[in-house]
Structure 1
């Protein structure tokens, strides 16, 4: 854990940003809490997540690239705050329905797609900001950064595409009934 925290601290120092760091056992490798303005990391989850990346990516490269990504969110903090009201509305609506109901009702699934799109936009913005930081400060070798970025975005893209296919099938089934 101390190695990972040190890598995060080194990256923060290199780019001249001051963000608190917290070790959390939450199952998410790294995250940015925009409300409390800190980067959280789960050392155990980072070790697991690294196994899904192609061989040749070191722990140092992985942690530094994801730290840049979380700092990318920090640079987009105003937009994250701006989305808070809608995020809470979507959350409240989702809480009123079971997973089965959300995935069998096109209107509820459209809400999930809206949430996916919003999350994907924030992720893309954070990676774009991270790319700018990496270009300015040369923290992570470029081809490795791109590989980690693609891997990081893939999870969000796949979730969106999966739910979009379900949504399209629901709409198609509805139009056949009508």
Structure 2
């Protein structure tokens, strides 16, 4: 494994970013398969060391692991900055979460109204991700923690999964509507 990955004290790096940008969020190591996330209900940043290492290895652009951690940290702080919008979405998020727990994936992808809720969740997630990245970009411009080229490559890589999920669900919805119209 890359020496820089093994030698970096990730919690210390995250805390240094928060100190530099004058923000403080609780930090928790988690094992949920998500590299780093902002839990707006618990008001903490969670990080999964194993997933961070894997996600870093997936980036096509070569950058330092430390810069990857700094960038993802600024992104999660970007969510914290957007806390009022996240809190305003809670009721709808719970409705969608409940729907997803009440139906199998197969049922959701066979029912237009349910699939439309999934697309709505994708759209909400995309909007929150874009806002968090915009906020992170402002932090990076103000404090110059990571070179813009590396920052933008990490941003692009991170956003790709949200775009793919949205496109997949949207395509499934259009296909389902076409099939129902053909009957």
Residues 63-82 of structure 1 aligned to structure 2 (within 5 Å): 63-82=69-88
Which secondary structure state, in structure 2, belongs to the residue aligned with residue 115 of structure 1? helix
Shift of residue 105, structure 1, vs aligned partner:
1.0
**1:25 matched residue in structure 2:** 31
Q: C-alpha separation between the residues in 1 aligned to 2:148 and 2:99?
A: 41
TM-score (norm 1): 0.96
Query: Could you tell me how far 1:169 is from its partner in structure 2?
Result: 0.5
Distance 1:166 1:61 in 2: 37
State the match for 1:99 in structure 2.
Answer: 105
**Counterpart residue number, 1:133:** 139
Residue 151 (structure 2) pairs with residue 164 (structure 1): no
Aligned residues: 177
SS of match in other structure, 1:120: helix
Secondary structure of 1:161 counterpart: helix
Partner residue, 1:109: 115
Which range moves more in the overlay, 85-94 or 121-130?
85-94
Matched, 1:52 2:54: no
5+ unaligned residues in a row in structure 2: which ranges?
1-5
Cα distance in structure 1, aligned partners of 2:98 and 2:34: 22
Deviation, structure 1 residue 55 = 4.5
TM-score, length-normalised on structure 2? 0.94
* 1:51 alignment partner, SS class: helix
CA distance in 2, matches of 1:136, 1:76: 18
User: Once the two structures are superposed, what CA deviation does each residue of 1:102-141 show, in whole Å capped at 9, x if it has no partner?
Assistant: 0111111101000100011000000000000001000110
Unaligned runs of 5+ in 1: none
- Structure 2 contact 61–150 (Cα < 8 Å) conserved: no
